[in-house]
Amino acid sequence: MKTMQFHGTEKTLKSKVLYSLQSIKSLLVFAFCFCCFFSIYSPLLPVPGKIAFSQQSSIPFPASPTTIPTNLSHIVFGISGLAYTWDRQLHFNELWWRPGEMRGYVWLDKEPAADATWPETGPLFRVSTSNSSHLGNGRNASAARIARIVVDSYQAVLTDPNAAEVRWFVVGDDDTVFFPENLLAVLRKYDHRQMYYVGSMSESVEQDLEFSYNMAFHGAGFAITYPAAMELARIIDGCLDRYSHHYSSDHLIQSCLSELGVPLTQEPGFHQIDLHEDAHGMLAVHPVVPLVSLHNLNYIKPISPHYKTQHEAVKSLVDVSCLDPGRTLQQCICYERGPGFIWSVSVSWGYSVQLYPWAVAPKDLVKALTTFRSWRTQSLGPFTLDTRQLNLDWPCDLPVLFFLNHAARDGVNWNWTTTEYSRDLKQENGCKSPSSSEAFKVKTVRVKAPQMAPAEWKRAPRRQCCKTVRIEGGEILLVQINQCKPGQSSLSQ
Ligand SMILES: *[C@@H]1O[C@H](CO)[C@@H](O)[C@H](O)[C@H]1NC(C)=O
Ligand SMILES: *[C@@H]1O[C@H](CO)[C@@H](O)[C@H](O)[C@H]1NC(C)=O
Ligand SMILES: *[C@@H]1O[C@H](CO)[C@@H](O)[C@H](O)[C@H]1NC(C)=O
Ligand SMILES: *[C@@H]1O[C@H](CO)[C@@H](O)[C@H](O)[C@H]1NC(C)=O
């Protein structure tokens, strides 16, 4: 298998012919040896094919039943990093890494400089193994190094006599921000004793066309079960050689898993964010799945205009997510009816509120306003999510925007939260309609919501319902979120 090449790799016809002659020759030799071997040893070893694998075929962890829910101790993280940039990217990792609770390593290309200080609160580092022949220099070599992280992590567990049970290997980039409770909620849906490859494609169709719609993009993070990592470890060296013309680590992993017949299980809560400009349009309409990760945050504007740096803006989202992880970015839609007007209210919990001074149907409110451009060509699409054109020349088409500025648990009902969103003051009312002027009077949207029960993600997905009321002379819009009652819809008030 090791020398096997596929069409599509740069090979001359001559070498292809030579190659097939060689493979016929080796097949004959192999068949001959196999027969000798089999006739001598078959009574002892009825399945000779197993011999080569015997070293790794024992599973160190008796596959524990799914009745014990997966927790953080069952996950081994593998973060890709570079020795010379790690300290610059560190601030994204420290937003979510929980020392003592999480396991795993940052896999570096080489030892960090002798005088570099490695933070005690972050994950420990290891230097990637650079094993097979494709690891020369350059981009493809670095892709192969990163593709090996799952196997490097698996081998680190295998050689650690004190390793506790591992169910999943989760891989991400040094600038990936994970939301740990939501990652768990997603992984708990799947039986860790089987071979799973869970992640998500890119938002930019041009990226999916370049690689595959069935590839988990590395920066968004992806998860591979222990049994899948074990099979991957067996084939990785030959496999990386076969695809040494790939320049992207996630493409390599997908190619190898494809040899094993393991397809991608799509989970849209992993976000690669292959976008430019402002991701707000997308983050304001998160699908009804847990928010698992964010990535490429250095390439887009700070996600909230209330903050100067991206780090502060993302920190505010991470902080609020601790109050109610499952509800983070969950959208809810309701309508406020006033004298002679109707407003459409769309909340992205913990992040922002869009207030449209007219009636927009829910089916349109769940489409992302195109505040962003595609990754490669910076165009307005196509994307793998539904979008609505944002037209800045028509101020009456634009929603009034509010962003999170305060969050707390409810003093009386401990498992309710109050989050407040204040207007983006840079936004001016360019639309002279009475309804719009009334909407611009709102200074704060105050949202009360019960904590989302963890069991919510085991039910059929359903956007929750909300009700609105204007108070304090119209300066505050109160929104109360609840699970929809029988007979209730987004249009009920
Ligand atoms: C995670 O599950 C294991 C069982 O595999 C258990 O021993 C451990 O206490 C759990 N950890 C937490 C933090 O719940
Ligand atoms: C490197 O590859 C060789 C041959 O494929 C294999 O025998 C060896 O175990 C590998 N080493 C590591 C550290 O993976
Ligand atoms: C690296 O990848 C590029 C793009 O796929 C390919 O053209 C090139 O031949 C590869 N380099 C090697 C040394 O395989
Ligand atoms: C909220 O708290 C009450 C009482 O403490 C409890 O009965 C209820 O199950 C909690 N709800 C959630 C969603 O945790």
Residue 34: is its pLDDT beyond 80? Answer: no
pTM: 0.87
Give the span between the Cα atoms of 93 and 174, in whole angstroms.
7
The predicted pLDDT at position 63 comes to 67
Please give the distance, rounded to the nearest whole angstrom, from the Cα atom of residue 8 to the centre of ligand 2: 27
Does residue 140 line the site of ligand 3, with CB under 6 A? yes
**Beta strand pairing call for 265-266 and 197-199:** parallel
Token code pair at residue 121: 């609160």
Minimum CA distance residue for ligand 2 atom 5: 237
266, 284, 314 - which closes a domain: 266
Same domain, 363 and 252: no
Does residue 417 line the site of ligand 4, with CB under 6 A? no
Q: Which residue has the higher pLDDT, 132 or 401?
A: 401
| Domain annotation covers residue 325 | yes
Please give the distance, rounded to the nearest whole angstrom, from the Cα atom of residue 222 to the centre of ligand 1: 22
What does each C-alpha distance from 76 to 73, 166, 316, 405 come to in angstroms? 8, 7, 26, 34
Please name which ligand lies nearest the alpha carbon of 133. 2
Same domain, 262 and 115: yes
Give the span between the Cα atoms of 347 and 338, in whole angstroms.
19
Q: Which of 324, 414, 415 to mutate to test the pocket of ligand 4 (most atoms within 8 A of CB)?
A: 415
Give the mean pLDDT of 366-382.
Answer: 96
How many CB atoms are closer than 10 A to CB 129? 15
Give the span between the Cα atoms of 439 and 357, in whole angstroms.
6
The predicted pLDDT at position 99 comes to 93
Give me the amino acid identity at 471: I
Residue 170 maps to which CATH number? 3.90.550.50
Domain extent for 243:
72-266
What's the mean pLDDT when you consider all of the chain? 87
Same domain, 321 and 259: no
The predicted pLDDT at position 190 comes to 95
| Domain annotation covers residue 410 | yes
Assess contact for 371 and 278: CB atoms under 8 A: yes
Give the mean pLDDT of 440-461.
Answer: 94
Same domain, 337 and 235: no
| Domain annotation covers residue 36 | no
| Domain annotation covers residue 146 | yes
Minimum CA distance residue for ligand 4 atom 12: 453
**Beta strand pairing call for 444-450 and 416-423:** antiparallel
- Specify the number of domains making up the chain: 2
Give the span between the Cα atoms of 228 and 262, in whole angstroms.
8
Same domain, 313 and 166: no
Name the phi and psi angles at 437, rounded to 5.
-60, -40
Q: Which residue has the higher pLDDT, 489 or 118?
A: 489
Assess contact for 221 and 270: CB atoms under 8 A: yes
| Domain annotation covers residue 489 | no
Please give the distance, rounded to the nearest whole angstrom, from the Cα atom of residue 107 to the centre of ligand 3: 23
| Domain annotation covers residue 225 | yes
Portion of the chain with pLDDT greater than 90, in percent: 70
Q: Which of 244, 249, 255 to mutate to test the pocket of ligand 3 (most atoms within 8 A of CB)?
A: 244
Same domain, 243 and 347: no
Minimum CA distance residue for ligand 4 atom 3: 415
Same domain, 183 and 324: no
| Domain annotation covers residue 187 | yes
Residue 49: is its pLDDT beyond 80? Answer: no
Q: Token match 């740069």: residue?
A: 10
Please give the distance, rounded to the nearest whole angstrom, from the Cα atom of residue 236 to the centre of ligand 2: 9
| Domain annotation covers residue 237 | yes
Q: How do residues 157-194 score in pLDDT, each as one tens digit? A: 999 988 999 999 999 999 999 999 999 999 999 999 99
Same domain, 107 and 182: yes
Q: How do residues 387-404 score in pLDDT, each as one tens digit? A: 999 888 888 889 999 999
Q: Which of 133, 137, 245, 252 to mutate to test the pocket of ligand 3 (most atoms within 8 A of CB)?
A: 245
| Cis before 65 (ω within 30) | no
Does residue 244 line the site of ligand 3, with CB under 6 A? yes
Which amino acids bring their CB within 6 angstroms of ligand 2? 129, 131-132, 237
